[in-house]
Copies of this chain bind each other. A is one copy, B any other.
Amino acid sequence: MEYRKIKDEDEVRDAGVEDVGKSFLLSVPDNDLSAEAETKIDSHREKVKWKRKSVVTLALTVLTSSQAILIVWSKRAGKYEYSVTTANFMVETLKCAISLVALGRIWKKDGVNEDNRLTTTLDEVIVYPIPAALYLVKNLLQYYIFAYVDAPGYQILKNFNIISTGVLYRIILKKKLSEIQWAAFVLLAAGCTTAQLNSNSDRVLQTPFQGWVMAIVMALLSGFAGVYTEAIIKKRPSRNINVQNFWLYVFGMCFNAVAILVQDFDAVMNKGFFHGYSFITVLMIFNHALSGIAVSMVMKYADNIVKVYSTSVAMLLTAVVSVFLFGFHLSLAFFLGTVVVSVAIYLHSAGKIQR
């Protein structure tokens, strides 16, 4: 099984981490110099890993947060006049281009080798379209769910994503969270929902049964796409992330090209591909592209759990920044949600230590 392989590789990685721990313990009574040197190298490697993980997580948080701010800004500036499908296609194209530029620099420096060559086997590439396909299905469902829920209600139901990501992460990647970490994850979902509460939120409780089912199915699709992406990227740990990204985004381009043909063919033919694009549109495309790359990096160097925490913090950051930028008011519910999310983040790390 594909998943098994991933799991075994994870175990190898985990074993590596454990070894570092063991060698720390051993280094006290052991006077063997080579063992000490190894420990030092291992601990240095751990530090580099931790630093890389922090940088990509921080980048994702800042980019996601500014993404939401750009959306508010563009809405304030007026309605979307450009076609969303062409913008999505441009985002995928830009991500592809950035990955290729990064690869070019690596080839110049290190030369082309097994890990960074662009050519690939069918066995490697065959799984890459799956996340893009899942997102497509989810986006199609999104049009139908609005028959049952309004937009603010949908924002609240989207917090099911947090729970579904946790559950699928456990089932598919077979990685364990401690009980405290599970409690933290439930709190993260409750805290994010609390932070988004407003006077109309209770309407979501009147959502008909079909609406609940669709919300849960969409959360599962979105969670599965995220976890599956992590599985693909982590399956080949030594493979260069830019090559992996390139293939992911190529299929993203294909699916979005189909979406343009199906949804906006006439509009694009009559008004042109870039009709209605403004400075903000271009900014948003760049921001989406960089966020997308940051997500891939988080999948490679951290995991889906980190991604969920990062985007949740971004949601809170967006609200705080909006107070200064747009004069938004923060509610008591937002404050309480922030407290709960903060405690969840603390518990996620405290739960790890005590395992």
Contacts and interface: CB of A to CB of B under 8 A. Distances in A.
Q: Which of A183, A337, A346 counts the most chain B CB atoms within 10 A?
A: A183
Given A197-B197, A199-B199, A354-B354, A183 B343 contact: yes
20 contacts: A180-B350, A183-B343, A186-B339, A186-B343, A187-B187, A190-B343, A191-B340, A193-B332, A193-B336, A194-B194, A194-B333, A194-B340, A197-B197, A197-B336, A201-B331, A202-B329, A204-B332, A205-B332, A333-B333, A340-B340
A179 interface: yes
A339 B197 contact: no
Interface in A253-306: none
A98 interface: no
Nearest to A184: B343
A354 B194 CA distance: 29
Interface residues of A, number: 29
Interface string A14-42: 00000000000000000000000000000
A172 to B, nearest CB: 25
A173 interface: no
A320 interface: no
A54 to B, nearest CB: 22
Interface in A298-355: 329, 331-333, 336-337, 339-340, 343, 346-347, 350, 354
Contacts of A156: 332
Nearest to A339: B190
Contact of A180 (B190, B333, B347): B347
A316 to B, nearest CB: 14
Given A186-B339, A187-B340, A347-B347, A332 B180 contact: no
